[in-house]
Amino acid sequence: MKVAILGDVHFGARNDSPHFSKFFEKFYNDIFFPYLEANHIEHIIQLGDVFDRRKFINFASLNDCNRYFFNRLHQGEYKTHIIAGNHDVFYKNTNNLNSLQLLINKPNIEVITSKPKEIAINDVRILLCPWITDDNQQITLEALEQTKAQIVMGHFDVVGFEMFKGHISDVGLDRKVFNKFDMVLSGHYHHKSTSGNITYVGTPYEIMWNDYEDLKGFHVLDLDTRELEFISNPFKMFTKIHYNDINQPVGYVNGFDLSDLEGTYVKVIVRNKTNPTWFDLLIDRLEKVGVADLQVVEDHFHLDLESDDDIVSQAEDTLTILKKYVDQVETNVDKQKLEGLMRELYREALSVE
């Protein structure tokens, strides 16, 4: 028996961008559902952050995701479990008011929102844990301690794992909490990674520039063998074009393959621009292709900039700066909670157009 494991999907991402909605739809139409059908997979577990914004939903975004995701789950009679993530709950300290219970109303979809629930698929017991808040922390820790299930899935903050590439969390649960389990699968962090028995499954597609050249896709868990297979998503939303026209032949600009860039985000990183006409021709080609967003970065120091942290600054990344600021500020507020709030605000800011 095989089960599809899907990470954070963030419907309505990037300020309800229609470009991202179309990009998401392509993944479900061309990759996800065709794979399930071809391999006769009938069970799906989604690990939280179904909707991008905690406090409201855009009707166009809701209509889109109903069409290419929820309606297909219902029509295909997929037995689906969805776990509440932090983006799915209205308040910070409780999961009781959440978008999943308000917006998802399909008989074959069960949402786990307030407290952990143990399920059985083909006699394999799995503990499903929604986002942990002040309201459900104690009951969640007790469920983790008392359950006989050897597999746990949730939407966890665990110390020592990468939230995005290069950004390691130093707050959250101690990984020792999960020592008794054979396998732990979690949403929440967008970077796919595995350490010991814990796997962060990552997001199925690129959502922000932090996801550039990061592995995206979904997983299939064989409950009989406990083998976790990764199914890659080949589609890219973010592209960097490095421009250097020194010693280039006539037609250099025409050598850039722009055929798959319609509706995507592009950064042109300029190392040398000795022929402005050629460069303008490249920009004109990109505009005619219909990219969703185009940025030009002048690499005056010939650094061959690759990461967005490099492009913004050669100093410390934003999360490190925020952490140091919180450490230094004089306040009676719990600094760990304050840092967590700052980190969450930073994540939300990244998702805004």
Digit-coded pLDDT (tens) for 210-248:
999 999 999 999 999 999 999 999 999 999 999 999 999
Measured distance CA(149)–CA(152) in Å, rounded: 7
What's the whole-model pTM score? 0.86
Digit-coded pLDDT (tens) for 244-285:
999 999 999 999 999 999 999 999 999 999 999 999 999 999
Q: What is the DSSP letter of 276?
A: H
Q: Are 99 and 51 in contact (CB under 8 A)?
A: yes
Amino acid at site 146: Q
Cβ-based neighbours of 69, under 8 Å, separated by 6 or more: 9, 11, 28
**Token reading at 317:** 């990344």
| Domain with residues 2-232, CATH architecture | 4-Layer Sandwich (3.60)
Digit-coded pLDDT (tens) for 82-111:
999 999 999 999 999 999 999 999 999 999
Query: Nearest Cα to 171, choosing from 349, 330, 335?
Result: 335
Q: How large is the C-alpha radius of gyration of the chain?
A: 22
Q: How confident is the model at residue 316 (pLDDT cuts 50, 70, 90)?
A: very low
Amino acid at site 141: L
Digit-coded pLDDT (tens) for 23-67:
999 999 999 999 999 999 999 999 999 999 999 999 999 999 999
